[in-house]
Amino acid sequence: MLVFHRHSIQEETEDKRMAANRAAWFLLCWEHQAAQAALRPPPPCRAARAGPRRPQAPADPTLAASAPGRSAPSLSLASVLTSVLHFLQERLRLPQDVSFENRGRRCDRSKNGAISLTFPVFRSWKRGERRPLHQAGSAGAVALATGGTASAEGPGRPGSLQDETLGVASVPSQWRGVQGICRETKSCQTASIATAEASAQVRKHADAQVQTEAPVPVTVLPLSQHDTSRLTAFLRRVEAMVIRELNKNWQSHAFDGFEVNWMEPQQTVSCLHTLGYPPAQGQGLHVTSVSWNATGSVLACAYGRLDDGDWSTLKSFVCAWNLDRRGLNPQQPSAVVEVPSAVMCLAFHPTQPSHVAGGLYSGEVVVWDMSRSEDPLLWRTGLTDDTHTDPVCQVIWLPEPRHSHRFRLLSAAADGKVLLWQGAGTGQLQLAEGFALLVQQLPRSTKLKKPSRGETEVGVTAVAFSSFDSSLFILGTEGGFPLKCSLAAEEVALTRMPSSVPLRAPAQFTFSPHGGPVYSVSYSPFHRNLFLSAGTDGHIHLYSVLQAQPLTSLQLSHKYLFAVRWSPVRPLVFAAASGEGDVQLFDLQKSSQKPTVSIVQTQDGSPVYCLEFNSQQTQLLAAGDANGTVKVWQLSTAFTEQGPRETEDLDQLAAEVAT
Amino acid sequence: AEVEETLKRIQSHKGVIGTMVVNAEGIPIRTTLDNSTTVQYAGLLHQLTVKAKSTVRDIDPQNDLTFLRIRSKKHEIMVAPGNLAFNFICKASLYLTA
């Protein structure tokens, strides 16, 4: 590409010098041309192959052929030229600052390496073209252009050829700067890579089972032949003795009247605790209901008012005391729940020690979890079409028919509906089954006083379930007549009340009425046919399920009777709460006419509204009154120890069914 | 056979609720009560009988237990221990039922 005619070194110094000058001149010219070419667009290849148009062209074909871009080849060419020039200078020992003149052209090379060319410029301009002064060195190419443009002379000045001396065109050497400059960073950036992470997880599980061996049930051994003879001999020997002893039993009086008491007998009934909640008492609230929990250690009571009219916006409380805890403060319950509406009845869950259900004055049924101090509300019915329109008088937990460890909630209210609620997942109680009582659909086993027309509901005031037959229950009504009902009743109730579940008429049998509404019924836990009902006429009726007339009727008080409960341990004992402020305990074995013990709860004669026996600690009885206090009574052992022959006596009592 | 007759005679005696025969290990051989009650009684009473027998023997080595009666509020349980192998347990009610 670069043809360099190298003169032989052996020539004379003069020749050498001349040659060196000429070479240097050529090189400089080439450098200059290279710089020029940098600013001119490279001519098309065809033109280049055709031959140079201009005298300065020789460098151009090379440039054009090899130039993909403007600046790069001129870079390399110029730098090559410069380096060659420097090489030559070194070899020929040319002084650094050399200047020579040739036919009017002057070339100066100063010490710092700047080469300045001075040459006559022939005024042969192409029309419209500028001929700026160049400075070699592509780093300064743009600067050259600008610099050159500034000092260029305007075109179109025709005139005769004249020699002019133009300004110095200095070409800075690239020797020193060659290392530093000419660096162009080119970088390319790929498009940003989008990454996404996805992971999958494989679940490995291993089944491990542990099984204890079921205890092998010991079965009765069949006897082999060999043993039979021995057994026969043994029995022969023993039989006589056994028969003799059995006979002695029947004839012996040794144990007549002999009764052993393993515990310290307590002769009297005493008050263990007097519990109250001062803020509720300050508002004058009554205790409407008490309930013991599944373990028998927590007592909950509900505050409200029982003598309200039709509407009440009273706030109420549900308080729970843990009686087994040390440091029990009677005035400070261990858990208090504030309820926006008055709570009329309470029932603890039979197996969960902290869940308690309550029926409100507004007709709602709510379940709380007393172990949670913030937001104890578990489930509620809300105010839908299904909820009661009257205050709920009683709530009872019932085991589900198929899953006996799960429970449903039954609520009864004065609007005549008995509803079964199921806890759904969202905290909402949903109606599972429903019953409605209408006067027209009551069985006519007893002549009722005022059969009314139309579809009148029968208000329910009390519910009691049989412990022998889980679908049989007794309802106490506002009309004073208890009703025997069944959960399995099929007859559809002719009611216009809207409901999501079809309501059925549950009544199967009507008993003869009290003189006033029945406020409480209680089914005997020892006998499948007996139940008690207490009404506002102050009487207690002992009914047998088999007949409409009561077996016995006892007058306990001249005022209302609010609650009656059978004792869970003694078949012949029951307790009643009266409006005169006392709790009366009856022992039918001792006396069937008057109460065995009459406990005075309130000093001022305000009524006792509710009472409950503790089925785990059988000597405890809780009663709540109108002053807002709950008293826990410890019963004497006479009431907790089952005496001999009680069950038989009860059977005898029940057998007095009038024929 | 004779075994059945004897047992039947005792069972039909006045006031007897149930009888059972238990072998030396405490496994019931003959019974008139239901299975779970039988198993429970056999296990518990066998241990008690062994204890009572050893108590009597400890007091007087020449003495031996002839009869054991447990009288409770509701029933009386009578145990006749055998020499080698068998024990006879009889449960009687304390009250005459019609």
**Domains with residue ranges and CATH for chain B:** 2-93 (3.30.450.30)
Q: Please give the residue of chain B at the shortest CA–CA distance from A216.
A: B39
Q: Residue A411 burial by CB count (10 A; 0-12/13-18/19+): exposed, middle or buried? A: buried
- Answer yes or no: is pLDDT of A264 > 70: no
Mean pLDDT confidence for A447-451 = 59
Q: Please give the residue of chain B at the shortest CA–CA distance from A258.
A: B73
Q: Nearest by CB to B67, from A220, A245, A250: name it.
A: A245
| Radius of gyration for the alpha carbons in chain A, expressed in angstroms and rounded | 59
Q: From the CA of B59, how many Å to the nearest CA of chain A?
A: 24
Q: Does B15 touch chain A (CB under 8 A)?
A: yes
CB A622 within 8 A of CB A292: yes
Cα–Cα distance for residue pair A151/B41, rounded to 1 Å: 131
CB A507 within 8 A of CB A437: yes
Q: Which of residues 221-260 of A touch B (CB under 8 A)?
A: 221, 223, 227-228, 230-232, 234-239, 241-243, 245-246, 249-250, 255
A238:B82 CB<8 A: yes
- Answer yes or no: is pLDDT of A55 > 60: no
How confident is the model over A343-364, as pLDDT tens digits?
888 888 888 888 888 888 888 8
Cα–Cα distance for residue pair A492/A495, rounded to 1 Å: 9
Cα–Cα distance for residue pair A248/A241, rounded to 1 Å: 11
Cα–Cα distance for residue pair A337/A369, rounded to 1 Å: 10
Q: Nearest by CB to B86, from A219, A220, A231: name it.
A: A231
Interface test with A, best of B17, B25, B31, B94 (most A CBs within 10 A): B94
**Sign of CA pseudo-dihedral A209, A215, A217, A223:** positive
Residue type present at position A203: R
Using DSSP's 3-state secondary structure scheme, residue A374 falls into coil
pLDDT of residue A450: 57
pLDDT of residue A79: 67
Residue type present at position A609: Y
Contacts of B23 in chain A (CB under 8 A): 221
How confident is the model over A516-561, as pLDDT tens digits?
888 888 888 888 888 888 888 888 888 888 888 888 888 877 888 8
CB A380 within 8 A of CB A427: yes
pLDDT of residue B58: 94
Range name among A63-67, A424-428, A435-439, A648-652 with the lowest pLDDT average = A63-67
Q: Which ranges constitute the DSSP H helices of chain B? A: 2-11, 35-59
Q: Model-level pTM?
A: 0.55
Residue bearing the bigger pLDDT, A593 or A532: A532
Residue A231 neighbours by CB under 8 Å, 6+ apart = A223, B3, B21, B29, B30, B86
Cα–Cα distance for residue pair A609/A620, rounded to 1 Å: 17
CB A524 within 8 A of CB A533: no
CA atoms within 13 A on the CB side of A454: 4
Measured at the alpha carbon of residue A307, what is the angle toward residues A305 and A312, in degrees to the nearest 5? 60
Query: Is residue A658 left, alpha or beta, with left meaning phi > 0 and alpha meaning psi from -120 to 50?
Result: beta
Element (H, E) at B30: strand B28-31
A245:B16 CB<8 A: no
CB A109 within 8 A of CB A169: no
pLDDT of residue B83: 67
Token pair 């009250």: residue? B95
Measured at the alpha carbon of residue A186, what is the angle toward residues A180 and A189, in degrees to the nearest 5? 150
Cα–Cα distance for residue pair A336/A338, rounded to 1 Å: 7
DSSP secondary structure code for residue A654 in this structure: H
Contacts of B67 in chain A (CB under 8 A): 241, 245
Cα–Cα distance for residue pair A170/A173, rounded to 1 Å: 9
**Sign of CA pseudo-dihedral A613, A617, A619, A621:** negative
pLDDT of residue A67: 41
pLDDT of residue A70: 44
**Which residues is A484 bridged to in the sheet?**
A474, A509
How confident is the model over A183-230, as pLDDT tens digits?
677 888 888 888 888 888 888 888 888 877 776 665 666 555 556 777
pLDDT of residue A643: 65
CB A302 within 8 A of CB A288: yes
Mean pLDDT confidence for A11-27 = 66
Q: Does B2 touch chain A (CB under 8 A)?
A: yes
